[in-house]
Amino acid sequence: MNIVVQKFGGTSVRNLECQRQVMQKVLRPYREGNKVIVVLSAMSGETNRLLGLAEEWSDNPDPAEVDSLVSTGEQISCALFAMLLKQQGVKCRSVLGFQAPVKTDCCYGKARITAIDESRLKGMLQEYDILVVAGFQGCDDNGRITTLGRGGSDTSAVALAAAIKADVCEIYTDVPGVFTTDPNLCSDARKIDRVSYDEMLEMASMGAKVLQIRSVEFAKKYNVTVHVRSTFSDEPGTIVTQEDENMEAVMVSGIAYDKDQARITLIHVKDNPGVSAQIFSPLAEKKILVDMIVQNPSKDGLTDMTFTVPRADVKPTIKTLEKLKYEIGYEELSSNLNVAKVSIIGVGMRNHSGVASKAFRALADENVNILMISTSEIKITCLIDDKYTELAVRTLHKAFNLEEGKHIE
């Protein structure tokens, strides 16, 4: 039995007309004799609407109930899409996370997939030709519904592709592939034909929401090729796969940005051994993702500690650290929500110097002030005032000639 896995995002299933277009994409492999697993997101805007309801109902909504609530978005789109397919005489059914089942840990709101029962899915595929699986959701060991974090349907799709050992997972979205930067923000952005897992991981973790980071981790771990392409055209998209020689020739392959960031500063922290662990261990226990960390040189045994967290995690971060104020021993906590990260990404950076200085010069020429800097082997990230995000992205895209796709010989 040959099984094709296709995932369609929120804009692709947002109304009847779009779902009809999705249906054409799904019927193609079906008519060629394949079984198809279709993974769907909620209709665009629905997850935000449901999260808004939770906030309206409660100041501190129970995370398990929030997951139970937001998972309904995918349930709606899957049931509706299965109805459309049935009308075409296709043997199909909708499959919710707990029915697949997609097993996860119990970290509500950002659960991680622990197992997928491949035999159950294959059993269903004996009876049905197309399974319409709800993305974004799973269930924990207690049978409670969990969700995988924003954009989590990508991860559902790749994990399902890995579980049934499909060679390719097709991710259909509202842009024709992965671009050198967000094509909706920079009209010069250019589609990339092939990108390595590692670069895609960096782009996703730095804010290129075209793929959720966990989906790329899964793809890399289980060697699933991901094809990102448009629901609304037939052109080939971007292949996310293992690194090859050609990829290394490119010094900078993309610019990513993330506006969902916040900067937290602890002022006058005692500069003693163990202080960093005292600050960051309790945050890690709450699964708060701390990224850039800067500690100033100490003066009179006191230092300032600055770091970034996702904006959604600001409240729990402040709550956790305020509780530990006397234990950690700091004077004041300040937070800034008006920041954004802009990152330059490229595997070729490993072997080339000068990328950082070129980026800093380009930003300086546009009077964009850099608040924090962090680097990895294949990435440079600058934290800036969020009102300069578009300017910074366009400036860096131009500085590295990304619209022309220049290679370093």
Out of 73, 138, 346, 348, which residue is the one contacting ligand ASP (CB under 6 A)?
73
369 vs 150: CA distance, rounded Å: 30
CA distances from 146 to 98, 241, 283, 342, 403 (A): 9, 29, 21, 31, 41
10 lines the binding site for ligand ASP (CB under 6 A):
yes
Binding-site string for ligand ADP from residue 113 to residue 152, where x marks contact by CB under 6 A and - marks none: --------------------------------------x-
181 lines the binding site for ligand ADP (CB under 6 A):
yes
Of 158, 133, 136, the C-alpha closest to 145 is: 136
Pick the stretch among 161-169, 176-184, 268-276, 282-290 that binds ligand ADP (CB under 6 A): 176-184
138 vs 146: CA distance, rounded Å: 5
Using CB under 6 A as the binding criterion, the count of chain residues that bind ligand ADP stands at: 20
Beta bridge partners of 195: 240
Pairing of strands 194-196, 130-134: unpaired
In terms of C-beta distances under 8 Å and separation of at least 24 residues, what long-range contacts does 309-314 make, across chains too? 309/261, 309/262, 309/264, 309/283, 310/260, 310/261, 310/262, 311/260, 311/261, 311/262, 311/337, 312/260, 313/262, 313/288, 313/289, 314/262, 314/264
Out of 3, 4, 6, 11, which residue is the one contacting ligand ADP (CB under 6 A)?
11
309 lines the binding site for ligand ADP (CB under 6 A):
no
Query: In the 8-state DSSP scheme, what is residue 42?
Result: P
77 lines the binding site for ligand ADP (CB under 6 A):
no
Task: Look at the chain and count its residues.
Answer: 409
9 lines the binding site for ligand ADP (CB under 6 A):
yes
135 lines the binding site for ligand ASP (CB under 6 A):
yes
Q: Which is nearer to ligand ASP, 47 or 253 (CB)?
A: 47
Binding-site string for ligand ASP from residue 38 to residue 57, where x marks contact by CB under 6 A and - marks none: ---xx----x----------
Using CB under 6 A as the binding criterion, the count of chain residues that bind ligand ASP stands at: 13
Binding-site string for ligand ASP from residue 142 to residue 181, where x marks contact by CB under 6 A and - marks none: --------xxxxx---------------------------
> Smallest distance, Å, CB 47 to ligand ADP?
10
Give phi and psi for 170, each to the nearest 5: -90, 125
Return the HEC string of 93-107: EEECCCCCCEEECCC
Beta bridge partners of 340: 384
Query: How many helices and strands, by DSSP H and E, does the chain display?
Result: 14, 18
The binder of 384, among ligand ASP, Mg ion, ligand ADP, none, by C-beta within 5 to 8 A per type, is: none
Contacts of 256 (CB under 8 A, 6+ apart): 181, 182, 202, 203, 206, 207, 208, 342, 343, 345
Pairing of strands 137-139, 238-241: unpaired
342 vs 392: CA distance, rounded Å: 7
CB 397 within 8 A of CB 409: no
151 lines the binding site for Mg ion (CB under 5 A):
yes
> Smallest distance, Å, CB 129 to ligand ADP?
24
> Smallest distance, Å, CB 109 to ligand ASP?
11
> Smallest distance, Å, CB 109 to Mg ion?
16
> Smallest distance, Å, CB 12 to ligand ADP?
6
Q: At which residue do the structure tokens 């952005």 appear?
A: 189
> Smallest distance, Å, CB 395 to ligand ADP?
16
Out of 10, 29, 138, 237, which residue is the one contacting ligand ADP (CB under 6 A)?
10
Interacting residues with ligand ASP (CB under 6 A): 9-10, 41-42, 47, 73, 135-136, 150-154
Interacting residues with Mg ion (CB under 5 A): 9, 151
Interacting residues with ligand ADP (CB under 6 A): 9-12, 41, 151, 173-175, 178-179, 181-184, 203, 208-210, 254
